[in-house]
Structure 1
């Protein structure tokens, strides 16, 4: 029973990330990575708009408040570490100096438009 619930939660998460990526595309963002994983953590979406790299955490819950509260400090720290690893490995130093970075969240609630929170938190170590 537990594995069935886990599989359903995983599928819900993947669908939420697809919806969030489509939403960002409609807003003029270019998706660089989906479900980026490294030894430091996982980032749901990495997007680019202009000279800004955006690390996006996607949460789907019953309410926007529940979704926002689901992004706790330890998770933000893991995302920050993974973002630093991504920058160090995927952007040449010359490019990295010209880009800004931020952490956004996209909150998904049934029967509502996605809620895109720009600069949802500052980098944590």
Structure 2
């Protein structure tokens, strides 16, 4: 396996920090974090969270500036998260639970931007 470049390692570390921050922020909003960085053959989900009977499969994107957040997520990436969520639903959701795909966008100096129900597929 090829070694990762310093830029890749820096991006990976920033992504992990962003996921920790997003998890902390969701907990402050009353969510319980069920899992982190769950990989499936269909893709990866950064956070799985529960609030009441709602299960959210959350994609977290961290950027260097607020201006970059507008282009941080695209339909292709959301489709992969949604596909992974479909694989994971039986593991985390029970009868009567609602499911959705959310996105949390993070940049220094800004409040986290939580896009609820980002994937409608």
Q: TM-score, normalised by structure 1?
A: 0.86
Conservation of the 8 A alpha-carbon contact between 2:55 and 2:92: no
Task: Identify unmatched segments of 5+ residues in structure 2.
Answer: none
Matched residue count: 118
Alignment of 1:74-113 (within 5 A): 74-88=76-90, 90-91=91-92, 95=94, 97-113=95-111
Q: Deviations over 1:45-104 (max 9, x none)?
A: 11000000001111111344522422112111111111010013x147xx2x31101111
Q: Which residue of 1 aligns with 2:68?
A: 66
Counterpart of 1:112 in 2: which secondary structure?
coil
Conservation of the 8 A alpha-carbon contact between 1:30 and 1:49: yes
1:3 deviates by 0.6
Task: Identify unmatched segments of 5+ residues in structure 1.
Answer: none
Within the candidate set 98, 116, 119, 1:118 is matched to: 116
* Misfit runs of 4+, over 6 Å: none
Return the structure number with greater helix share: 1
The change in CA–CA distance for 1:120 and 1:65 in structure 2 (over 3 A counts) is farther
